[in-house]
Amino acid sequence: MPAWPENGCCLAPQSLFREEAVNLLRQSVDGQVKLIVPDFFWIEVANLLCQAIRTGRCTRPTAEMAWSALRRHGIPTLPALPLLDSALDKAMVYGCSVYDSIYVALALETGGKLVTADEKLVNATGDRLPVIWLGAL
């Protein structure tokens, strides 16, 4: 797995609907931060967009535009399978889901930080892991 620069960030999908996440994406375009995601991030984002359409939080054309815009960012994507052993360990130690722990494992493996809107995950990992609450940016 490649080394990742200190200003690298792993962005969790539930964070995408927040203004701070849009700012983080802009910073990545400007070269201020480098984003990286596990491969199933794209499946989770597609599912979140479908849910947003079904619940009336956005229209299909808006979701399709958001999907296209996000894909155009060219966010580097790494396979989740090599991260599963570490993720399973983190899930058991910190009491969080394996899904969330994949993002934590990716941040640890690449030397970056996980940026998330999941306060429960931030609280569970405390200062022990490189997990940052999106609202703190």
pLDDT tens per residue across span 44-67: 889 988 998 999 988 999 889 889
What pLDDT is attached to residue 12? Answer: 56
Q: At 47, list the tokens.
A: 């599912």
| CA separation for the pair 14, 82 (Å, rounded) | 23
DSSP SS3 for 79: coil
98 membership: H or E segment, kind and range? helix 98-110
The 10 Å Cβ neighbour count of residue 57 is 13
Q: Which residue has the higher pLDDT, 133 or 67?
A: 67
Burial of 91 from C-beta contacts in 10 A (0-12 / 13-18 / 19+): buried
Give the rounded percent of residues in the chain with a pLDDT score beyond 70. Answer: 87
- Per DSSP (E only), the strands in the chain are 8-11, 34-38, 77-78, 113-116, 131-133
Burial of 30 (0-12, 13-18, 19+ CB in 10 A): exposed
Residue found by looking up tokens 């009491």 in the block:
95
pLDDT score recorded for residue 82: 96
Global pTM?
0.80
